[in-house]
Amino acid sequence: MRIFYRALRKMASALTEVSSNKVFGGLQKVFSHESKELGCKMRFAIFLPAQSEEKKLPIIYWLSGLECTELNCVQKSGIQRYAAEHDVIIVCPDTSPRGLNLPGEKDSWDFGEGAGFYVNATEKPWSDNYRMYSYVTSELINVINSNFPVIEGKQSIMGHSMGGHGALICALKNPGLYKSVSAFAPICNPSKAPWGIKALTGYLGPHETGSWAQWDATELAKSYNGAPIELFIDQGSDDKFLDQLLPNNLVAACKEAHVPAILKMREGYDHSYFYIATFIGEHVSYHAKHLNE
């Protein structure tokens, strides 16, 4: 066991350990690294169950929402308990590049820093750094696979709100990359919602450019023809942001395109981590089933 972790530390020389805490028999760690894709230092949280000391494990990526960092999920959801039960690794990246000092990056809470929207920006000044889609689907996966005891190819993705949007588009744009996908209160049709319109305009330019559909889960579902994958959408009925999230639009698009989709409406629940913590165990179990098939 000690030999294994000495080797792991040597492999991880490009990573800087920020913190480490024991929880549910495993280790909740945070690392930083220099991201080539984003041109800045990035952080991610990773939960390593006790079994990761003995063998390689499958992995679930969690994408967080607006204003969040790599810490929100691991500090508020209780996800480690269920990850330890199912022997899966959890990775939570930050939600945008940080510290770039770009004009306007801190002017509002729903655009810029903390609000990368998991797209590859094409508009200046964002296009050089705001490439969260490529970071999540390529660079981060390579970093994790190279430095931690994961079973390559055994990965799933999930997220919340803006991160739910991110999880859905990452899965729909990359058939076969993820074994399963789920989302809590995702922004399902950003082309039709104020948050999404603001972000897509700022990062990609006007709607007339025709690029928005490539970053909208509802539009992607309409034309999806890749490896079969089920979309698991979880939504609280008392979510004050329902007019921004539009889950019924995505479900209708999936039905028309014959893409399997589950929409679970949770009576009386809102948009918060109290809601997420209530049902996170069900989601981890769902992904573990697909990862172990």
Catalytic residue selected from 86, 160, 165, 271: 271
Cα–Cα dist 109/98, whole Å = 14
In angstroms, the CA 139 to CA 59 distance is 15
Q: What is the model's pLDDT at position 6?
A: 42
pLDDT of 17 higher than 80: yes
Residues 246 and 284: their CA atoms lie apart, in Å, by 24
Could you write out the DSSP letters of every residue in 87-152?
T-EEEEE-SS--S---TTTTSBTTBBTTB-TT-B--STTTTTT-BHHHIIIIIHHHHHHHHS-EEE
Which tokens in the block code for residue 37? 């894709």
> What's the whole-model pTM score?
0.94
Q: How confident is the model at residue 21 (pLDDT cuts 50, 70, 90)?
A: very high
161, 182, 234, 290: the catalytic one is: 161
For the stretch 123-132, pLDDT in tens is 999 999 999 9
Write out pLDDT tens, residues 157-195.
Answer: 999 999 999 999 999 999 999 999 999 999 999 999 999
Task: Read off the pLDDT of residues 222-236 as tens digits, 9 standing for 90 and up.
Answer: 999 998 999 999 999
Is 146 designated active site?
no
Tokens in use for 274?
Answer: 């109290």
Residues 16, 161, 257, 175, Cα dihedral to 10°? 0
108 is catalytic: no
pLDDT at 218: 98
In the chain, what is the straight-line distance between the N-terminal and C-terminal CA atoms, in Å? 27
Query: Known catalytic residue: 290?
Result: no
